[in-house]
Amino acid sequence: MTTVKIRFIGGGNMAASLIAGLIADGYTPAEIQVSDPDPERRQVLQAALGVRALASNLEGLAEAGTLVLCVKPQMAAMVCAELGPMVSEHCPLVVSVMAGVTERTIQRWLGGPVPVVRAMPNTPAMLQTGAIGLHASPEVDAEGRNRAETILRAVGLVRWVEDEAAIDAVTAISGSGPAYFFLLMETLEQAAIELGLEAETARLLTLQTALGAAKMAMESTDPPARLRERVTSPGGTTERALAVFAEANLRGLVERAARAARDRAVELSRILSESA
Ligand SMILES: NC(=O)C1=CN([C@@H]2O[C@H](COP(=O)(O)OP(=O)(O)OC[C@H]3O[C@@H](n4cnc5c(N)ncnc54)[C@H](O)[C@@H]3O)[C@@H](O)[C@H]2O)C=CC1
Ligand SMILES: O=C(O)[C@@H]1CCC=N1
C-alpha cells in the first residue's frame, strides 16, 4: 500500500491547483488525500484528479507526513482546533497556504508550538507555473524546510522570505497577481471586440500576446521597461496607448491595488490573532 504523503485540509480552488500540479510532477493520486465537507466538491476532486476525498478532516490523518491547510482564513480557527490533538500526537509538518493567518496564530489554534511553514502559492500551480513564497516558523528543522520546498517546487518557482511579514507582500503580488493579469486580458479582449475583431480572434490574439510578453520578459536579459521601449516607435501607435495609461496614472493605480491587497492580509492577521 502506498503511504499518503500529503493531506490537504479543504479541497477548493487552491488545493485543486496544487494537487493537479503535484500529479503532473509525478506524485501518484494514492500519495495525496484531501478532506472537504462539501460532497459535490469531493466528487469533483475524485473524478478530476483521482485522489481520495474524505468528508472527515480526521479520517486517515495519522498516515500523512505533511498537512496542507487550504481552508478560508475565516474557517481556520475551527479547523485547527479539530486537528490540534492529532497534530500534537503524530507531529506532521503543517504547511498553511492561508492568506493573513500567522504562524503564531496557527500554533495557538493547534494548541502548541508545532512546526509550521507558511506557503503563499497561486493558481497557476496547476500547470506547474506557480510562484510561491515560503516562510518557516523557528520550530521547523532543516528536513521540514526541505520537505516543504520540495513539495512546492514541484508546482512552480519558490522563494524563501526572511520575515514572516513579507508573506503579506507575496500574497498581494503573486498570490492575488493572476487575477490582475486576467483582468487585463479580459479588458483587452473586450476592447478588441469593440474595435471590430471577431470574438475568437480577439480572444486568441489577446491570450497569445500575454503569453508572448511573459515569455519574452522571463527569457530576456533586458528588463520589461527595455522590452516595452522596443515596441514603442516614436510617433507610433503604442506611444498613443501608453499616453492614455499614463494620463490615468496606471502606475499609481497598480501600486495602490497591491498596497490594498497587502493591507487586507495585515488586517486579516490582526483580526484573526485577536480572535478566540
Ligand atoms: N485561490 C487562490 O488563488 C489562492 C488561495 N490561497 C488561500 O487558500 C485558501 C483556500 O482558498 P480557495 O481554495 O480559493 O478557497 P475555496 O473556497 O475554493 O476552498 C475552500 C474549501 O474549504 C472547504 N471547507 C469549508 N469548511 C471546511 C472544513 N471545516 N474542513 C475542511 N474543508 C472545509 C470548502 O468546502 C472549500 O471547498 C485560503 O486560505 C486562501 O487564502 C492562497 C493563495 C492563492
Ligand atoms: O483573495 C484571497 O484572499 C486569496 C489569497 C491570495 C489569492 N486569493
Q: What is the DSSP string of 241-259?
A: HHHHHHHTTHHHHHHHHHH
Determine whether the shortest distance from the Cβ of 73 to ligand 2 is under 6 A: no
Residue 233's pLDDT band, with cuts at 50, 70 and 90, is very high
Tell the residue nearest (CA) to atom 5 of ligand 2.
99
| Mutation test residue for ligand 1: of 7, 8, 14, the one with most atoms within 8 Å of CB | 14
Looking at residue 251, its amino acid is R
Residue 130: partners with Cβ closer than 8 Å, 6 or more residues away: 17, 21, 121, 122, 123, 124, 152, 155, 156, 157
Cα-to-centroid distance, 116 and ligand 1 (Å) = 18
ipTM of the complex: 0.98
Residue 11's pLDDT band, with cuts at 50, 70 and 90, is very high
pLDDT digits (tens, 9 = 90+) for 127-160: 999 999 999 999 999 999 999 999 999 999 999 9
Between 211 and 274, the more confident residue is 211
Q: Which domains does the chain have, with CATH numbers?
A: 6-162 (3.40.50.720), 176-264 (1.10.3730.10)
DSSP letter, residue 221 = S
DSSP letter, residue 176 = S
pLDDT mean across residues, the chain: 96
Cα-to-centroid distance, 47 and ligand 1 (Å) = 19
146 known member of a binding site: no
Distance CA(30)–CA(136), nearest Å, equals 27
Determine whether the shortest distance from the Cβ of 97 to ligand 1 is under 6 A: yes
Write down the pLDDT at residue 2: 53
E strand residue ranges, 17-72: 32-35, 52-54, 66-69
pTM of the model: 0.96
Cα-to-centroid distance, 125 and ligand 2 (Å) = 14
Q: Examine the pLDDT at 1 and tell me if it is beyond 80.
A: no
- Cell matching residue 236: 507610433
pLDDT digits (tens, 9 = 90+) for 35-68: 999 999 999 999 999 999 999 999 999 889 999 9
Between 91 and 130, the more confident residue is 130
